[in-house]
A and B are shown apart, each in its own frame.
Chain A
Amino acid sequence: MASIINTSLTPEMADIQAQMESRARNHGLDFFPTVFELVDADQLNQVAAYGGFPTRYPHWRFGMEYEQLAKGYVYGLQKIYELVINNDPCFAYLMRSNELTDQKLVMAHVYGHCDFFKNNAYFAHTNRKMIDTMANHGQRIRTYMDRFGVEEVEVFIDWCLSIEDLIDIHAPAIKRRADVPRRFSTDENETHDEGSSRFDSKQYMDRFINPPETMRRESDERQRLRKESQAAVGPMPSEPERDVMLFLMEHAPLQPWQADVLSIIRDEAYYFAPQAQTKIMNEGWASYWHSTIMTTQGLTASDLICYCDHHSGTLASSPTRLNPYKLGIELMRDIEERWDRGQFGKEWDDCDDWETKQRWDRATGLGREKIFEVRRIHNDLTFIDEFLTLDFCRRYKLFKFGWNEDLDAYEIESKAFPQVKAQLLANLTNRGRPQIAVRDANYRNRGELLLENYYEGVELDAKYAADTLTNLFALWKRPVHIETVLEDDRVVLSYDGIDHERTDIGDDALVRS
Chain B
Amino acid sequence: MGMRIDHDRSRFKEIVRGRIRQNLRKYVTHGEMIGRKGRDLVSIPIPQLDVPHFRYGKNGAGGVGQGEGEEGDVLGGQGEGGAGAAGSEPGGHILEVEVSLDELAAILGDELHLPRIEPKGQANISQEKAKYNSIRRVGPESLRHFKRTYVEAMRRQISTGEYNPSNPNVVPTRDDRRYRSWSTVSEPEANAAIVYMMDVSGSMTDEQKEIVRTEAFWIDTWLKSQYDGVETRYIIHDAVAREVDEHTFYHTRESGGTRISSAYRVAVELMESQFPVENWNLYCFQFSDGDNWGEDNNQSLALLRERILPKVNLFCYGQVDSPYGSGEYLKALEGAFGEERENLVLSEIADKDGIYESIQEFLGSGK
In contact, A432 and B86 (Cβ under 8 angstroms): yes
* Stretch binding the partner chain, chosen from A14-22, A46-54, A343-351: A46-54
B75 in complex: contacting residue of A323, A401, A460, CB < 8 Å: A401
Residue interface mask B1-33, A partner, CB < 8 A = 1: 111110111111101000011001001000011
Q: Is A366 an interface residue (CB 8 A)?
A: no
In contact, A398 and B21 (Cβ under 8 angstroms): no
Q: Which residues of B contact A467 (CB under 8 A)?
A: 27, 52
Assembly CA distance A442 to B230 (angstroms): 68
Contact A468-B53, Cβ < 8 Å, known A54-B1, A423-B64: yes
Contact A63-B92, Cβ < 8 Å, known A320-B75, A400-B64, A403-B59: no
Closest to B70 in A: A412
Assembly CA distance A319 to B77 (angstroms): 9
Q: Is B295 an interface residue (CB 8 A)?
A: no
A-B contacts counted at CB < 8 A amount to 311
Q: Which residues of A contact B2 (CB under 8 A)?
A: 2, 43, 46-47, 50, 54
Closest to B207 in A: A408
In contact, A62 and B64 (Cβ under 8 angstroms): no
Closest to A427 in B: B84
In contact, B60 and A322 (Cβ under 8 angstroms): no
Assembly CA distance A380 to B84 (angstroms): 11
Assembly CA distance A405 to B62 (angstroms): 12
Q: Report the minimal beta-carbon distance from B45 to chain A, rounded to whole angstroms.
A: 11
Contact A75-B10, Cβ < 8 Å, known A322-B63, A400-B62, A402-B62: no
Assembly CA distance A471 to B33 (angstroms): 27
Closest to B111 in A: A71
A412 in complex: contacting residue of B8, B71, B103, CB < 8 Å: B71
Assembly CA distance A324 to B28 (angstroms): 29
A2-B3, A77-B99, A432-B86 known; 17 other A-B pairs, CB under 8 Å? Answer: A61-B12, A64-B12, A80-B93, A82-B92, A86-B90, A162-B53, A275-B89, A276-B86, A314-B93, A318-B77, A321-B63, A323-B66, A410-B75, A412-B72, A434-B54, A453-B54, A468-B52
Report 26 cross-chain contacts, Cβ distance below 8 Å, ordered by A residue.
A3-B1, A49-B8, A63-B5, A71-B46, A76-B103, A81-B92, A84-B91, A163-B53, A275-B88, A276-B86, A276-B87, A314-B93, A319-B75, A320-B78, A403-B61, A404-B74, A410-B78, A412-B69, A414-B71, A423-B64, A428-B83, A431-B86, A434-B54, A460-B55, A462-B57, A482-B54
Minimum-distance CB pairs A-B, first 8: A320-B79, A432-B84, A63-B8, A427-B84, A467-B52, A458-B60, A402-B62, A46-B2
Interface of A toward B, CB cutoff 8 Å: 1-3, 5, 7, 39, 43, 46-52, 54, 58-64, 66-68, 71-72, 75-86, 113, 151, 154-155, 158, 161-166, 272-273, 275-276, 279-280, 282-283, 286, 313-314, 317-324, 326-327, 380, 396-405, 407, 409-415, 420, 423-424, 426-428, 431-434, 436, 453, 457-462, 464-465, 467-468, 470-471, 482
Interface of B toward A, CB cutoff 8 Å: 1-5, 7-13, 15, 20-21, 24, 27, 32-35, 44, 46, 48-49, 51-97, 99, 103, 107
